[in-house]
Amino acid sequence: MGVVVLTMGDRSDELRALLESVAAQEGDSAVVVVLGQGVRLPELPPEVAGVELPENLGIPGGRNKGVEWLRDCGGVDLVVILDDDGLLPRTDTFRLVREAFAANSHLGVVSFRIVDEDGQTARRHVPRLGASDPLRSSEVTTFLGGAHAIRMSVIDQVGEFPAAFFYAHEETDFAWRALDAGWEIHYRSDLVLRHPRTNPARHATYYRLTARNRVWLAKRHLPAVLVPVYLASWTAYTVARRPPLAGLRAWWAGFFEGVRTPSPPRRPMRWRTVWRMARLGRPPVI
């Protein structure tokens, strides 16, 4: 098992606590690599590898470099990706991850449950339509970027995260490819990452990249007839949430950027995958 952590170098205390919680996990030690996104890394524990990237490659690009580093190490069959300000409150998390993958050869991705300082799970951290009951584990159609585990052979088969996305929806892009290849994605409520309560809109580029990447996602993976349906539903959802005027302007700018610019490669999912996602409660138009 390998662990990838990205950092911007501004959360040294949180990173140290996360690495301590990783080291405290039961069973065989994981291979851990921390990647600095164009920044100098703080002092790391001797058993943790550090890689200072020459520039900020974005979330998917940084993760790809981490996976590449683990692949070069050899012998890593599972990749766990964790946010640098998260914390594993339980010591059996990695053992449960290993057992989950060992028990199901079709399992490709496991999504952890993210809780805040009060132990609550935000609606956006439940990868199910309607965000019903965060304590219920189930098969799902996407996963949480800040806390998940992927079978290395899935990455080898379907490809890496889409680096051009930079931020937002790279997990859904990967999830749709994995589902189309026949893999399962599970949300496990007993695999917990504690993470400070945050607002995704705190990022200056949140609205623009969210909209652009939604368009790219549809153009890359949906059957042609579903592309306008998907984009119309997300446009209606965004407007109904009444974002601030500046945010809405940035959203529309990102939307039209996504329409204008290419997003290769286009590999539309099979209709069998569309039906499978619908049966799991989230057809790829919502």
Residue 259 in tokens: 């329409």
Could you tell me the residue ranges of all domains in the chain?
Answer: 2-198, 204-269
pTM of the model: 0.95
What's the mean per-residue pLDDT of the chain?
94
For residue 123, count other CB atoms closer than 10 A to its CB. 9
Give the distance from CA 192 to its chain's centroid: 15
Mean pLDDT of 162-183: 97
Q: Which fold has domain 2-198?
A: Spore Coat Polysaccharide Biosynthesis Protein SpsA; Chain A (3.90.550)
- In the prediction, which pLDDT does 264 show? 86
- In the prediction, which pLDDT does 122 show? 83
Confidence class for position 205, pLDDT limits 50, 70, 90: confident
